[in-house]
A and B are shown apart, each in its own frame.
Chain A
Amino acid sequence: MSVVLTLVEQESGEPAETSQEALTLARGIAAETDARLEAVAFGDEGAAVADDLGTAGVDALHHVTHDRLDSYAPVAWGEALAQLAAADETEAVVAPGSERGQEALAHAGATLDLPMAANCTEVDAGDEYEVSRQRWGGSLVERARLAAETKLLTAAAHEVSIESAPEATEPAVETFTPDLSDAHVRGRVDRIEESDEEGVPLGEARVVVAGGRGVGNAEDFDQLEELADLLGGTVGASRAAVNEGWRPHDDQVGLTGAKISPDLYVACGISGAVQHMIGCKGADNILAINTDPDAAIIQQGEYAVIGDLHEVVPALNEALRNAE
């Protein structure tokens, strides 16, 4: 029986959200090709995810251990996936649409000399696969045909709805020690430097108050900072505001900045170009504050206030202070 392998990253002992999405996509492929669904996890805590993989219908977990793998090593991860794929009759290898998922599978693709389909949203698995994948950060969909002895694909982040398997399984845990050389650990993580920034990181904030060209200068971001504080959130910015030098690039939301999914995104003086919306479309609610009633952000958001943010935001701040 052939196998569909899925790379699973763990976050505090549980499969990361993007990994659960990858598992959902992979289970569909395994069902259509009559294959076993197997997971691959790295690191000391890797085996801890086994319990959670049962609900995803995983038949076995390959827990990859090696004394050279005490920190993340992209080539070695790719190599381990390639060695596992070569060991069995492997139908497909699916990785999450996380930075590590994309990177490790690209290395596996280089090792195996096989094509890789990045950021897939749907897969129709037969002898050949018909896949839909994101281009231009998701503003275009490419339908494509993938044909290879082992198909390599990553699941686009936050596009596949996580579903449990119809029947839970009890995955067997098998330890796998890949054959690694010095070359496989080049470029591994040497150390982590913690940020000394205070406040909620942009990617984890429940509320993001973002400003664009309409803010007009760096000083007026103070009003947005206050609104963010009052809502327990953090400040973001459009590329235009970052290019003006009003905010650091770390605050940038969009195609070439952060892609975020807060409960509320308050877009102040942001027109809503495609490249920006890619960064904030994951938000549950978008509230746009804009002088232009025809701005694209107003078409795309849930709520809008037509007006000058320099008047609306201070008034809102006052109301929030009074409500406390």
Chain B
Amino acid sequence: MDVLACIKRVPDTGAKIVLTDDQQDIDTTNLGFTMSPHEECAIEEAIQLVEDHGGEARVLTLGPDEAAEQLRTGLAMGADEATLLETDGDEWSPRATARAIADAVRDGDGVSHDVLLFGTESADAANYQVGIRVARELDLPVVTGSKDLEVGDGSVTARREIPGGQEVMEVDLPAVVTVKEGINSPRYASMRSKMQARKQSVDRASPEQASGPGTFEKIELVSPETDDSEAEVLGDGPDAVPAVMDVLRDEVEVL
């Protein structure tokens, strides 16, 4: 069984996000880069599926040359191969991203992998649609937001949380599944595997940016207004308990 995990390189933001002067991007001068926790779980799930069923796990991203760093994280975790769909660093729309990924995995009338994993939404743009659009481009079934995955004979059963339980979907392979953090606990790569991943080759392609009818374009990024009013300090240590009781009773009214 061959499994693909698709990821996205994003800044590793701290407590406060700082924007560039032209407000087009996050100022990454002092930031490292990472991927969404959902996507770390997608890589882990791909590796586990291959451990259980055989085959190969491939990690793929669309992004600038530097995004090879995140692919090497996937290789160090245990993915067998990596693909970089290289861009000039501009942000691609979900539609153009999905078309490029679909083209990369299309194989004759079929697709190159049995399971195509994505995070449910990216950490930065959070458009909630790349996995769905890839599936529809390739005419594959898709399940989103999965927190449990079982691959059986030619099909995959996915569960996702709803209030009070889980809803269960079953689709035939090949299929697209978008996953959420909590589906597994991503392994840490050892220093040795990180060193080895540095030497592994990354397959590269430079897709064309495809568009379609309609446009959706960023004008600028803005930091939302925040509430700067400080909390009312009710006291220090256990001595604060009577004041807390008053607040719970009279102001928050939960007693």
Contacts and interface: CB of A to CB of B under 8 A. Distances in A.
A32 interface: no
Contacts of B142: 74-75, 187
B255 A323 contact: yes
Contact of B227 (A102, A130, A300): A300
Nearest to B26: A140
Interface in B212-237: 212-224, 226-228, 230-237
Given A111-B136, A137-B126, A72 B167 contact: yes
Contacts of B31: none
Interface string A6-35: 000000000000000000000000000000
Contacts of B160: 99
Contact of A143 (B17, B141, B220, B234): B220
A178 interface: no
Contacts of B127: 116, 118
A110 B163 contact: no
Interface string A297-311: 011111111111001
Given A107-B136, A110-B136, A115 B93 contact: yes
Contacts of A99: 144-145, 160
Contact of A149 (B132, B172, B213, B221): B213
Contact of A307 (B38, B212, B238): B238
B128 interface: yes
Interface in B182-201: 182
Interface in B28-71: 36-38
A319 B126 contact: no
Contacts of B247: 287, 303
B164 interface: yes
A288 interface: yes
Does more than half of chain B's interface fall in helix, strand or loop, or is it mixed? mixed
B237 A312 contact: yes
A147 B168 CA distance: 37
Contact of B222 (A74, A143, A288): A143
A252 to B, nearest CB: 7
A153 B235 CA distance: 46
B165 A192 contact: yes
A287 B141 contact: no
Nearest to B143: A187
Contact of B242 (A132, A190, A319): A319
B244 interface: yes
Contacts of B164: 194-195, 201
Contact of B232 (A144, A302, A319): A302
Contact of B36 (A256, A287, A298): A256
Contacts of B112: none
Contact of B181 (A115, A189, A256): A256
B236 A116 contact: no
A250 interface: yes
A222 B245 CA distance: 20
Interface residues of B, number: 85
A245 to B, nearest CB: 8
Contacts of B162: 192
Contacts of A144: 216-219
Given A136-B124, A305-B235, A190 B168 contact: yes
A193 interface: yes
Contacts of B237: 305-308, 311-312
A183 B138 CA distance: 12
Contacts of B105: none
Given A193-B166, A249-B182, A301 B231 contact: yes
A300 B226 CA distance: 9
Given A193-B168, A305-B235, A305-B244, A149 B214 contact: yes
B132 A232 contact: no
A123 to B, nearest CB: 13
B17 A139 contact: yes
B144 A103 contact: yes
Interface stretch (A54-62, A162-170, A203-211): A203-211
Contacts of A303: 231-234, 244, 247
Contacts of B9: none
28 contacts: A74-B144, A103-B144, A103-B145, A106-B129, A110-B136, A116-B94, A140-B19, A140-B224, A141-B222, A142-B125, A142-B220, A144-B218, A148-B214, A189-B167, A189-B169, A190-B168, A190-B169, A192-B165, A194-B165, A256-B180, A264-B252, A274-B13, A303-B244, A305-B234, A307-B235, A311-B238, A312-B241, A323-B245
Given A106-B133, A135-B125, 17 more contacts: A113-B212, A115-B95, A135-B126, A135-B221, A140-B17, A141-B221, A141-B224, A190-B168, A194-B164, A195-B165, A231-B255, A285-B251, A287-B252, A303-B233, A307-B236, A307-B240, A315-B238
Interface of B: 13-17, 19, 26, 36-38, 93-95, 123-129, 132-133, 136-137, 139, 141-145, 147, 159-172, 180-182, 212-224, 226-228, 230-238, 240-242, 244-245, 247-248, 251-255
